[in-house]
Chains A and B, each alone.
Chain A
Amino acid sequence: MTIFFNTLLVGFSSGAIYSLMSLALVLVWRSTRVVNFAAAGQAILSTYIGYEAMKVLHNYWLSIPVALLAGALISAGVEAIVMRPLAKRSKGTPVEAIAPVIATLGILGLIRSGVGLIWGNSFLQYTSPLSSKGYTIGHTTIPFSPLNAAIVIGASVVLAIFAMIFRFTRLGLSLRAASFQPEISRLSGIRVDLIRTIGWAFAGAASAVAGALVTPTTYLSPNSLDLLLVSGFVAAVIGGLESLIGAVVGGLVLGIGFAFILQYIGTSVTFSAAFIILIIVLLLRPQGIFGVRRSREA
């Protein structure tokens, strides 16, 4: 019973990170119908910037907003400088659907190599003042530390803020309207191009927070967020890519699923586990848990 409960806790903590990453992907998908494979790259760059901020400010908590801001700016930059011109140029050509995928993959590689060139490949420590030792309840130590608590709380806060922005503000309404019907939105006076860039900025902020929260639990290197790339994407697809709630649920499903597979089957299946969970979900619901089956867009 304790093992079950412990596994659940571990799953929650990693699930929170996957949710943030998956949220970033869904935000971009919803606003521009592009899967941003570069999200993990943006996250790692933002995390490195946060790391530098921490070295300067000597304060972990202050470095998180810095990383967040960096993430937002980088993401907005990618959208405005690469994706928007790309969309204009590839419109109507046979590669229209594939060009954004390739572009974001290219940007991912670009950022990763760039980060390696600037900071080197060695492992760095992004230290948080919180301890990574599990809490003790009575005699037992559970695999949930203050660090994990910070992850869950931090992720929840970010998700809650996004949810409120989307539901209750004009900006959120504009974001939603522009993602559903860009033309009607333009005819209502919404500056759709700007809104899209803002959507990407939000996504960049979310993935930056994910990076800043999770990196203290391991180490910082150009490749340290690789698993997050795949996991975030799988989580988004499981959740259905269409809804923000789906993103969160997908992240938790994946996190908890991973934790259980690791616990009861063993660590060597880690990568295959993502694949297996994905296949199972897509076999049962090809559009993801919360996804909507769209008829083919002619």
Chain B
Amino acid sequence: MTLIVKNLQVKHGAITAIDDLSFTINKGELVTIIGSNGAGKTTLLRALSGLLPISGGEMSWNGKSIVGVRAENLVRLGIVHVSEGKAVIPELTVSENLQLGGIWRKDKADIAAATAEVIELFPRLGERLSQGADSLSGGERQMLAIGRAIIARPELLLLDEPSLGLAPLIIEQIFQAIDALRHRLGLTVILVEQNAMSALRIADRGIIINLGKVVTSGTSEQLLNDSSLRAAYLGY
């Protein structure tokens, strides 16, 4: 179960947002993609999940090309994208948002089991099942979004800046949960983050991109110990 990206190019009109990007991710890895604002991180995830058309290069998952496959069909191939900014539907209840995770799946028993697992992991969601999702705090919404993604039984999970706008304590909780989940469920995860420190602590590897190109990559230990990188991207 590998994700192979080769010479990827994505354009926004006349601007090349991603330029000749290549990397490989193996099963079970948690790879974090780090970069400053506008580096192309979100664009990369949106290209991977089928929301954005690409203008060049290859992407394949488990040996099959995923270029040009629509987002709703990629979900069925096991690629689940939690988009930036608390991807929940505020007009629906918490329970309904969770139901969206399994809405395309037929195995009702498994959906129920997955939902139970999510509620066990995030008890606060369990307390608020019948409330509108708009009544949740920022951290709770993020938990809801991740919970919904888990119910979709992903093999490859794409997380776009889950820490955005959250308090440090909550960020810790969520990152712990992500780490626990991926070990327990054997998930492959791409974690896009500006909060590089927290991300590298739970990641196996990191890829740093800037202006749509890879700057450098390595194990998280290597990146954490590289002082010039630390200064440039990790802020100390």
Which residues of A are interface residues toward B (Cβ below 8 A)? Answer: 170, 173-174, 176-177, 180-181, 183-192
Contact = CB atoms under 8 A, between A and B. Distances in A.
Between A181, A185, A189, A192, the greatest number of chain B beta carbons within 10 A of the residue's beta carbon is seen for A189
B103 A189 contact: yes
Interface in B160-190: none
B83 A184 contact: yes
Interface stretch (B30-38, B69-77, B203-211, B223-231): B69-77
Nearest to B104: A189
Given A173-B99, A183-B83, A186-B51, A191 B72 contact: yes
A180 B90 CA distance: 9
Contact of A188 (B51, B70, B75, B90): B75
Contacts of A188: 75, 100-101, 103-104, 148, 152
Contacts, number: 63
Given A186-B51, A186-B71, A173 B91 contact: no
Given A181-B89, A189-B75, 18 more contacts: A170-B99, A174-B103, A176-B91, A177-B92, A180-B91, A184-B88, A184-B100, A186-B71, A187-B49, A187-B51, A187-B72, A187-B81, A187-B82, A187-B87, A188-B75, A189-B104, A189-B105, A190-B103
Contacts of A177: 89, 92, 96, 100, 103
Between A170, A188, A191, the greatest number of chain B beta carbons within 10 A of the residue's beta carbon is seen for A188
Contacts of B76: 189
A186 B72 contact: yes
Nearest to B76: A189
Contacts of B99: 170, 173
A187 B71 contact: yes
B10 interface: no
B91 A187 contact: no
Contacts of B71: 186-187
B80 interface: yes
Interface of B: 49, 51, 70-72, 75-76, 80-83, 87-92, 96, 99-101, 103-105, 148, 152
Nearest to B90: A180
A24 B92 CA distance: 22
A262 to B, nearest CB: 38
A187 B75 contact: yes
15 contacts: A173-B100, A177-B96, A177-B100, A177-B103, A180-B90, A183-B51, A184-B100, A185-B89, A187-B75, A187-B80, A187-B81, A189-B105, A190-B72, A190-B104, A192-B72
Contacts of B103: 170, 173-174, 177, 188-190
Nearest to A185: B100
B91 A189 contact: no
Nearest to A171: B103
- Which 4 pairs from chain A and chain B are nearest by CB? A189-B104, A189-B75, A188-B100, A186-B71
A157 to B, nearest CB: 26
A174 B105 CA distance: 13
Contacts of A181: 89
Given A173-B103, A183-B83, A189 B92 contact: no
Nearest to B51: A183
Between A180, A181, A185, the greatest number of chain B beta carbons within 10 A of the residue's beta carbon is seen for A181
Nearest to A242: B91
A191 B96 CA distance: 17
Nearest to B80: A187
Nearest to B49: A187
A176 B93 CA distance: 12
Between A174, A186, A187, A192, the greatest number of chain B beta carbons within 10 A of the residue's beta carbon is seen for A187
A189 B49 CA distance: 11
Contacts of B51: 183, 186-187
